[in-house]
Structures are given as C-alpha cells and as structure tokens.
Amino acid sequence: MDPHTLNRRRLFVGSGLLGAGALLAACTSNEPDDEPATGTQAAASTGSGNDQPGPDVVIGFSAPAADHGWIGAITTKAADEAKKYPDVELRAVEGSSDVNQQISQVETLISRKVDVLVILPFDGNALTEVGIKAMAAGIQVINLDRVFSSPRGARTWIGGDNYGMGAAAGYYIAQQLTAKGVRNPVITEVQGIADLPLTQDRSKGFAEALATAGFKVANKVSAQFTVESGQQVTSNLLQAAPKIDALWNHDDDQGLGVLAAIEQAGRDEFIMVGGAGSKNMMDLIKADSGVMKATVTYPPSMAASAVRLARLVGQNKGMSDLVELGVPASITLTSETVTKENVDSYLPLGFES
C-alpha cells in the first residue's frame, strides 16, 4: 500500500476529532461585550457564553420509528441533550417509518409554530417539500443525516460521512491484509439497502480505499439494516464464497444477523469490520475472541449536536471557533475506526443494537 496515502488518511481521521463536537462544545455568543477583552481576559472568556441560559427556544423533533438500535439512540440522545438546557423545550412527535405520516407530523409541528425543527427524514427526497414549507413559514430547519433534495429545505445539515465510513473500513482491511502478506484476497461486503445514496456512498468509499492496495470487492450482497436480513444474505454469501479473507458489514444492527450466519456456518478464517459503532460490536472487539476485529463509527451523537445547533440558531448565536457569525450550513462528522487498541475510549459512546 502507498504509505503516503495511509498517512493522509491518518491525518484526516485525526483532524476530524476537532470537528463538529469540538466546535459545539466551544460555542459562544456573538453579542459584543460592553468593553473589548484583551490579552488573557480574551482567552479566558472564549467558549464560555453559549451554555448560559438565553431566550427560550421550542424545538420540534421528528425521526423515523425507533425499530433499529441506531435510530433508537438518535431519539434518546436528542431528548437527553434538550434536558440539559432550561431554555429549551423539545416537542418530539412519535417516530414513524411511514413517509406520509412523518410529513403530517412535521406539518403539525409547523402549525404549532415551533421555533426550530430538527428532522431526520425517513426519506430525504420525500420530506424536502415539508422542510421548504417550514422554512417559508419562518421556522429554521436542522436537517439531520438523510439529506433533503434541495438546500431550500433546511438552514443547516449535520450528519455522518458515509463515504468516509466506507473508506475507513477499506483502509483498515487493506492494512491488515497487507501486513499479513495476503495477495489477491477475497474481500466481501454486506451492504444495507442497496439503492439508498448513503449505501452507495459507503460502497464507493470502501472500493476506492481498497484500490490503494490493489484490492477489490469479490462478493457483495445487500440486506435491509435488520438482523433477519443480515443473517439471510450472509448465509447466501458464505455458501457462494468457500474462502474469505475479510468482510465489511455496513451496519452493526444487521451485524448481529451477519454474525449469527457466520457462527451457524462455522466460519472463522477471515476478519470482520462493522459499521456505526454499537456497544454490542465493541464488546466483541474488546474480547478479541472471534472474527469481529473493528467497527467504523457513524455516531448517533449527531442528534445531540443537532439539538445544540437548533438552540444556537433559535437564539441567533454562532460558534466561537469560527470567524463567521452564524452556524455553518453544513457539518460532516468524521468516521473513526474502533479496534481493540482504542475500544475502551469509544465504549461509552456505543449504542445497544
């Protein structure tokens, strides 16, 4: 593998640690002080303003039904974050995986004149028009993760790096197989829902990272982000590939089914990398007693960050680490690689599948 490529990747991952989370932690009001601070006074005051109570903000929240560990964590983290602020009231509607029902619920929040909306759409394209409707009504929208088809639907987008997630998995597998001296490896991939743009971005990142080592995906199957589908498609995959060197599974929730199929088949000749960062998979990584060796994060903490952003937007505040006065229009979170060497640091951030 090209060491320069890997060094650039390490730099990218490392620098990502200073991304949205650090910016949000260091937020401060953009209102000028009565007297300009100088020297050590200016340094001491940086990052201290935004957690202080400000004008009350009513935040409407809508996400799909919590029938998936990651979505469940999204809903929980949003609610927990809102409780930290006495000036925030979170009005969350019941999660729904019916597009029309979610649209109706968001329209109800609009009619109730919430100040800001946080929307994780079941389908970004389908929820775009209601996002535009909210913006036209003067309600700022934070589009969480699944992207609207028009920027007019939201004030700010925050979400995970799907391409980077695939790239992180690909670089890890390439490094491991290269270190073992494996040539012409059989690398397999268990996708989520194949026709979703996020799945396609993950696969693209994975393929391009593997290509830096001269590797490619030999077998690819698609599941539905569920345990049952993960087990079914992996059983078929294992039958089609009598020998495997590495497997990347896009989603740790469906990964429970993937692992069940692997155990049922009695296979252990390959390494497996997960996706999203569930506590279940981190526990297996820490135990280091099976095929599960790493997972790449897609943090549900983005929901907590979205609530913070909604509060800042509602109070007309910005971020102290930026020169600009307003919250950015787009924030992409870094996908980080969790292995047995660093798993203890990430376990507190894991979610239950």
Is a pLDDT exceeding 80 seen at residue 43?
no
Side-chain-facing half-sphere of 150: CA atoms under 13 Å: 11
Average pLDDT over residues 222-250: 97
- Report CA-CA distances (Å) from 171 to 1, 5, 115: 10, 10, 43
Can you tell me the distance from the alpha carbon of 299 to that of 70, in angstroms, rounded to the nearest whole number?
9
Q: Under 8 Å CB-to-CB from 43, ≥6 apart: which residues? A: none
Of the candidate ranges 37-41, 143-147, 188-192, 199-203, the one whose mean pLDDT is the lowest:
37-41
Domains and CATH numbers, the chain: 17-154+300-333 (3.40.50.2300), 162-297 (3.40.50.2300)
Side-chain-facing half-sphere of 48: CA atoms under 13 Å: 7
- Mean of all residue pLDDT scores within the chain: 88
Is a pLDDT exceeding 90 seen at residue 2?
no
Q: Are strands 271-276 and 292-297 parallel, antiparallel or unpaired?
A: parallel
Is a pLDDT exceeding 90 seen at residue 157?
yes
At residue 211, the pLDDT reads: 98
pLDDT category at 345 given cuts 50, 70, 90 is very high
Is a pLDDT exceeding 80 seen at residue 91?
yes
> pLDDT, tens digit, for every residue of 7-29?
333 333 333 333 333 344 434 33
Of the candidate ranges 44-48, 123-127, 139-143, 169-173, the one whose mean pLDDT is the lowest:
44-48
> pLDDT, tens digit, for every residue of 247-293?
999 999 999 999 999 999 999 999 999 999 999 999 999 999 999 99
Average pLDDT over residues 132-153: 97
Is a pLDDT exceeding 90 seen at residue 353?
no
R_g (Cα) of the chain, nearest Å: 22
Give the rounded percent of residues in the chain with a pLDDT score beyond 70. Answer: 86
Can you tell me the distance from the alpha carbon of 253 to that of 20, in angstroms, rounded to the nearest whole number?
25
Which helix (H) or strand (E) segment holds residue 88: the answer is strand 88-92
Q: In the structure encoding, which two tokens stand for residue 316, read together?
A: 């007309």
Query: Tokens 């930290």 appear where?
Result: 84
Can you tell me the distance from the alpha carbon of 187 to that of 173, in angstroms, rounded to the nearest whole number?
9
Please, which residues bridge with residue 220 across strands? 189
Distance of CA 276 to the CA centre of its chain: 7
Is a pLDDT exceeding 70 seen at residue 30?
no
Terminal CA-CA length for the chain = 34
Can you tell me the distance from the alpha carbon of 163 to that of 176, in angstroms, rounded to the nearest whole number?
20
Q: Are strands 337-338 and 292-297 parallel, antiparallel or unpaired?
A: antiparallel
Is a pLDDT exceeding 60 seen at residue 77?
yes
Q: Under 8 Å CB-to-CB from 32, ≥6 apart: which residues? A: none
Nearest CA-CA partner of 106 in 117, 122, 90? 117
Can you tell me the distance from the alpha carbon of 290 to that of 270, in angstroms, rounded to the nearest whole number?
9
